[in-house]
Amino acid sequence: MKRSIVVFSLMAMSGLAFADGFSYTYLQASYGTVDVDNISVDGDGFGLSGSYGITDELNIIAGVQAADFDTIGDAKDWSVGLGVHTSITDLMDVTGSVSYVDTEFEPLGGPTFSDDGFALAVGLRANVASMIEVNAGITYVDLSTGGDDTSFGGGALYNFTDMFSVGLSAKWEERFGDDTATYSLSGRIYFGN
């Protein structure tokens, strides 16, 4: 349960496609729900993440999230890292990233637990229509005392303009024997290519 405080994946695997490639410079706000099956715990929260393209193939990624699990407590996490991306076709990029992750869980009536570690992610971004992008990826997180975990996720973005998109995403994982599903709705603003 300790690692369930990392409630949202690094969201740097999706973006808007321009004529000369995908944009890796954006700011994104998200609302998500988390469902932990075996102990019947649900939570919801907000996140803010971003990416800044520093070269044609490198980008800096960062994010902060907070979630409230009504019956057990509050979770917060933040991350910062470096992403790499390259085109494998005109309509598809392969992405990867490495990030530092810091998590905190404050249970109701108990002491605060905090942990840190790193995350490795790999994914694909693809344009499937002129205004629709889909993405999928795998993320591995290794925390100092909380152990390691692998999650699988995917999503889609609808590009209303060259500067604004709305997306839906989902992530599935097993943590300490508990099947966990996270579903998110996001809005993204682009600041260039």
pLDDT digits (tens, 9 = 90+) for 145-192: 888 889 999 999 999 998 999 999 999 987 655 788 999 999 999 997
Using CA atoms, how far residue 122 sits from 102, 135, 152, 179, in Å, is: 20, 11, 10, 21
Separation between Cα atoms, residue 70 and residue 16, nearest integer Å? 35
Using CA atoms, how far residue 34 sits from 7, 67, 177, in Å, is: 7, 9, 16
Task: Please say whether the beta carbons of 110 and 73 come within 8 A.
Answer: yes
> Would you tell me how many other CB atoms lie within 10 Å of the CB of residue 121?
23
Whether pLDDT at 98 is above 90: yes
Over residues 47-85, the pLDDT tens digits come to 999 999 999 999 999 999 998 887 888 889 999 999 999
Separation between Cα atoms, residue 10 and residue 13, nearest integer Å? 8
pLDDT at 147: 84
Q: Which residue has the higher pLDDT, 159 or 38?
A: 159
Q: Which residues, at least 6 apart from 19, have a Cβ–Cβ distance to it below 8 Å?
A: none
pLDDT at 193: 59
Whether pLDDT at 17 is above 90: no
Geometric angle at alpha carbon 133, from 103 and 24, rounded to 5°: 55
Whether pLDDT at 31 is above 80: yes
pLDDT at 4: 40
Least trusted range by pLDDT, from 10-14, 105-109, 152-156, 188-192: 10-14
Task: Please say whether the beta carbons of 103 and 6 come within 8 A.
Answer: yes
Helices (H), the chain: none
Q: Tell me: domain 2-190, CATH 2.40.160.20, correct?
A: yes
pLDDT at 47: 95
Burial of 45 (0-12, 13-18, 19+ CB in 10 A): buried
Over residues 123-155, the pLDDT tens digits come to 999 999 989 999 999 999 999 988 888 999 999
- Sequence ranges of the domains in the chain: 2-190
What rounded mean pLDDT belongs to the chain? 86
